[in-house]
């Protein structure tokens, strides 16, 4: 089954009770048992819910995995992965990553004895230098947020397998339409489902997908024990959103390229970060492991002036100043004061998150209107 068919049909079946073609919203907390322990597969909705189960099956199918688990947010999914570790274990993470991931690693889990090393993974040799007998997890984000760096997943997984280290990949920016990390050798894929998979800025959710049964059992144990699950209504909304994922992502990619090339030619723009540009450091890696380059773009202004950046993000009309990304509408943000404000400035600057850095989530509107909007905003 091809990907464009999977998003609509994989793991989804007509409702056996009514024949409804759309998955019903099973808005219930508990389920009738005929006798003690005899039921129809569901006991309590924290442990399992029919609407959520169908979504989990659909997500695992489109990522090329065997097991899926959905959570109340992307951070709840990350939380579950780190809970698989023990005090004294070490994690190697990319140094350019979502601020919320950095925050949960350093302010929540470090105090429980889990140690994190943040390295530039554009050069995989940096990973090798940090591996020791305590290393249990390598955390990859590619493309990275917000610098759009590309990490060679195959190479990282090869290094990890030599030391029997689990590799988890945050695939939020790419989605399985563009990149499927399990096929590249990763053990776990994480999604902030809130973003492209939901696609309409109306859901907060996270997900984990794996093909490893022992990892899956541990994920399900933590999902049930910690209880950070998503509800059936949100599951329904995401199932609906995923049915148009391929259509939306195609337009995101098309618009992304047009806007990236417009920005490259603009005199007020210093640098443009988009993996589809031939000038991108790991452009060739992106070509090899992705099926396209997406609609996320970051850029800096000539002179790196904070006030100028604030004016630009406030002057757009179609690009809405807001957190988040991946919806049908275009968004604009200022990472150093918004999504990545929790990262110390010294660390932000090291990874390229300077004062004038602006991040775009390019939507599916008409590209000429979006370019015109940016042209007007840059008249400062």
Q: What are phi and psi of 348, to 5 degrees?
A: -60, -50
Tell whether 12 and 136 lie within a shared domain.
Answer: yes
Whether 189 and 210 have beta carbons less than 8 Å apart is answered as yes
Each residue's pLDDT tens digit, 196-216: 999 999 999 999 999 999 999
Active site residues: 46, 98, 170, 195
CATH number at residue 33: 3.40.640.10
Point out the domain boundary residue: 180, 209, 242: 242
- pTM confidence score: 0.96
CB 117 within 8 A of CB 151: no
Instruction: Give the structural domain span for 313.
Output: 245-377
Answer yes or no: do 254 and 212 share one domain: no
Do residues 72 and 204 make contact, with C-beta atoms less than 8 angstroms apart?
yes
- DSSP lists the bridge partners of residue 166 as 137
- The answer to whether residues 152 and 257 belong to one domain is no
Residues 173 and 268 placed together within one structural domain of the fold: no
Share of the chain above pLDDT 90, in %: 95
CATH number of the CATH domain containing 329: 3.90.1150.10
In this prediction, residues 61-81 reach a mean pLDDT of: 98
When pLDDT is averaged across residues 156-179 and rounded to a whole number, the result is 98
Same domain, 249 and 327: yes
Number of domains the chain is built from: 2
Q: What's the confidence (pLDDT) of residue 73?
A: 98
């Amino acid at each position: 089954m091809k990907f464009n068919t999977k998003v609509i049909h994989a793991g989804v079946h007509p409702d056996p009770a009514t024949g409804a073609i759309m998955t019903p919203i099973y808005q219930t907390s508990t389920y009738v048992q005929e006798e003690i322990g005899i039921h129809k597969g569901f006991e309590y909705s924290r442990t399992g819910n029919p609407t959520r189960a169908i979504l989990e099956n659909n997500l695992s199918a489109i990522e090329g995995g065997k097991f899926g688990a959905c959570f109340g947010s992307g951070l709840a999914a990350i939380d579950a992965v780190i809970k698989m570790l023990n005090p004294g274990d070490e994690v190697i993470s990319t140094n350019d990553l979502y601020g919320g991931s950095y925050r949960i690693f350093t302010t929540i889990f470090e105090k429980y004895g889990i140690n994190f090393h943040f390295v530039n993974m554009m050069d995989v040799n940096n990973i090798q230098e940090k591996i020791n007998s305590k290393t249990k997890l390598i955390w990859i984000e590619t493309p990275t947020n917000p610098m759009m760096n590309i990490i060679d997943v195959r190479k990282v997984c090869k290094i990890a397998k030599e030391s029997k280290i689990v590799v988890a990949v945050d695939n939020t920016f790419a989605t399985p339409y563009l990149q499927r990390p399990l096929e590249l050798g990763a053990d776990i894929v994480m999604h902030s489902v809130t973003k492209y998979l939901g696609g309409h800025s109306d859901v907060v959710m996270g997900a984990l997908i794996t093909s490893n049964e022992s990892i899956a059992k541990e994920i399900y144990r933590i999902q049930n024990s910690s209880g950070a699950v998503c509800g059936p209504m949100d599951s329904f909304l995401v199932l609906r959103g995923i049915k148009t994922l391929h259509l939306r992502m195609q337009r995101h990619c098309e618009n992304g390229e047009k806007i990236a090339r417009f920005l490259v030619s603009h005199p007020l723009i210093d640098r443009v970060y988009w993996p589809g540009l031939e000038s991108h450091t790991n452009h060739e890696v992106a070509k090899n492991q992705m099926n396209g380059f997406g609609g996320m773009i970051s850029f800096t202004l000539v002179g790196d002036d904070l006030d100028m950046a604030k004016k630009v993000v406030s002057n757009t009309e179609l690009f809405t100043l807001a957190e988040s990304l991946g919806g049908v509408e275009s968004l604009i943000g200022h990472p150093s004061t918004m999504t990545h404000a929790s990262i110390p400035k010294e660390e932000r600057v090291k990874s390229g998150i300077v004062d004038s850095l602006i991040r775009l989530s390019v939507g599916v509107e008409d590209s000429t209107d979006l370019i015109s909007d940016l042209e007007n905003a840059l008249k400062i």
